[in-house]
Amino acid sequence: MDSEEGKAKRAAVAAGVAAAKEAQQAAASREVLVTEDIDDRLSLVLVEPNAGEEKDENIPRNLHNGVELLLKGGKADSARRLQQCVQSFFRLFELGPNSGAGKLGRACVCWSCGHCGLEGIVSEKGSSQVGVCMSCGETRTNYVQTILASGMAVPWVEASASPPESSAEKAEDADNDEDDGSLDGFDDHS
């Protein structure tokens, strides 16, 4: 009849199947980003094609399209991260420049990890510049530009790594500042 070895193999296979089924159910129960959950404000962040990509129909026009593309390509974690980065930008932007909560600069989106934020060191690719992802260092990026519903272009804003100044320091700085055309309260990250 059945040997002990055969029974042990069947038990191991059954345990493996049960573990796989359990893992599948756990994955299905996790929060999944679907197209209907994409923040509409992502469509305000336009993707700038790199040199040679101007006529490429696969380059998303905006980050809403970018999240859809990542989801379609099976990169749900990258899509979720991209949406979170842009939502963080809008939260800081809505606080206004006097919040002292951020740095300004040019942003890029990374199609590898989904990070969207201030660019790292600029890489030269041929005759054009390509942003480097501050998160993973990848150069599979495109610059982005936020255009508000009013048509006004705004720079990217990210949280500063340094702690905010005290009220007394802000008041002293305000007395000493000349109007240099920058957005007060934000550090220029050029």
The C-alpha atoms of residue 177 and residue 64 are separated, in whole angstroms, by: 38
Report yes or no on 45 lying in a domain: yes
Q: The tokens of 27 are what?
A: 């994955």
Q: 58 Cβ partners below 8 Å, 6+ apart? A: 69
pLDDT per residue, tens digit, the chain (190 aa), is 567 887 877 877 777 667 766 666 555 444 456 767 899 999 999 999 998 898 998 899 999 999 999 999 999 999 999 999 999 999 998 888 777 767 889 999 999 999 999 988 776 665 567 889 999 999 999 999 999 989 999 999 998 765 545 444 444 444 444 444 444 444 444 4
Q: What is the per-residue pLDDT for 70?
A: 94
Report yes or no on 149 lying in a domain: yes
The range of the structural domain enclosing residue 146 comes to: 31-189
Q: What is the per-residue pLDDT for 2?
A: 61
Q: What is the per-residue pLDDT for 62?
A: 98
Q: What is the per-residue pLDDT for 162?
A: 55
Q: What is the per-residue pLDDT for 125?
A: 60
**Which own/partner pairs from 67-70 qualify as long-range (CB within 8 Å, at least 24 positions apart)?**
67/33, 67/38, 67/42, 68/35, 68/38, 70/111, 70/114
The C-alpha atoms of residue 24 and residue 124 are separated, in whole angstroms, by: 43
Q: Does residue 102 contact residue 182 with C-beta atoms inside 8 Å?
A: no
The C-alpha atoms of residue 134 and residue 153 are separated, in whole angstroms, by: 23
Count structural domains, the chain. Answer: 1
Q: What is the per-residue pLDDT for 67?
A: 96
Q: What is the per-residue pLDDT for 9?
A: 77
